Copies of this chain bind each other. A is one copy, B any other.
């Protein structure tokens, strides 16, 4: 099985036609046609049945599909890795973080950094944790910031600081004097709650704690990011459980917040590759992030 055949097979499946595939691969249509035939009689079975002059994947082709696409994917990743290796550290600071942290924490840290080191180039990404690990491994970026312990064995993880899960609510929900007191989980019973479907460790823990509340909170809307939950709460849709960074964003104009009484901590992690030691700019950046985060977490 030549690589060309694999690429071609994939291209035909995605574009749906031979000419489309040929365009995708930057070759002429007859070249694609001939290659496909080569592939087929090398395999010993038809990949596509020619019906009415069009191509239609056969049963066998569908069996190969998933596996072939995995290989294509892996090859793309290999390519990314090699290009990133061949052009090393063009940029002194390449950071990726989750959407939550991209809201205020990371921009603030970046702004502070550029006061200390004016004119430093930087690249910022926002990615969810799984993709983040991939980006780091593939050297698309050098530092990852996340609230989830990814448990990725090929990455070094450093806990920058810890905080509490926060409950946010529309203004006037609680008397002002209660805002500093932690809210017990049981107090959520029967309350309108924005559901979090974030599939990280924190999300799962929250789910399992909430499952024990009786009567269960009334949840009609489910969201996939903490930021969406915040926006809904600000519009009076109910309460939500969020990380302290989301709780703090927007200066709390449109919401009230108070800590949730829970032994579960929210931890801010920095991730980086163990083989590439951090340069001074990166270290300074992490120090700034930690400092800002501690500031946010101390004042709840």
Inter-chain contacts of A231 with B (CB < 8 A): none
Query: How often does this chain occur in the complex, in copies?
Result: 2
- Asked if B3 contacts A82 (CB within 8 A), the reply is no
Query: Is B1 touching A78 in the complex (CB atoms < 8 A)?
Result: yes
Size of the A side of the interface (Cβ < 8 Å), in residues, is: 25
Question: CB of A79 within 8 A of chain B?
Answer: yes
Cβ contacts A145-189/B at 8 Å (1 or 0 each): 000000000000000000000000000000000000000000000
CB distance from A275 to the nearest CB of B (A): 8
| Interfacial chain B residues near A60, Cβ < 8 Å | 85
Which residues on the B side are within 8 Å of A44 (C-beta)? 86-87
The residue of chain B having its C-beta at the shortest distance from the C-beta of A2 within the complex is B3
Q: B residues within 8 A CB of A111?
A: none
Is B78 in contact with A67, judged by CB distance below 8 angstroms? yes
> Hey, which chain B residues are within 8 Å of A63, CB to CB?
81, 85, 275
> At the interface with chain B, which of A28-36, A69-77, A203-211?
A69-77
The answer on a CB contact under 8 Å between A86 and B45 is: yes
B1 touches A79 (CB 8 A): yes
Cα(A254)–Cα(B105), bound, Å: 69
Tell me which residues from 77 to 102 in chain A have a Cβ below 8 Å from any Cβ of chain B: 77-79, 81-82, 85-87
A198 contacts the other chain (Cβ, under 8 Å)?
A: no
Which of B43, B71, B82 contacts A1, CB < 8 Å? B82
A296 within 8 A of B: no
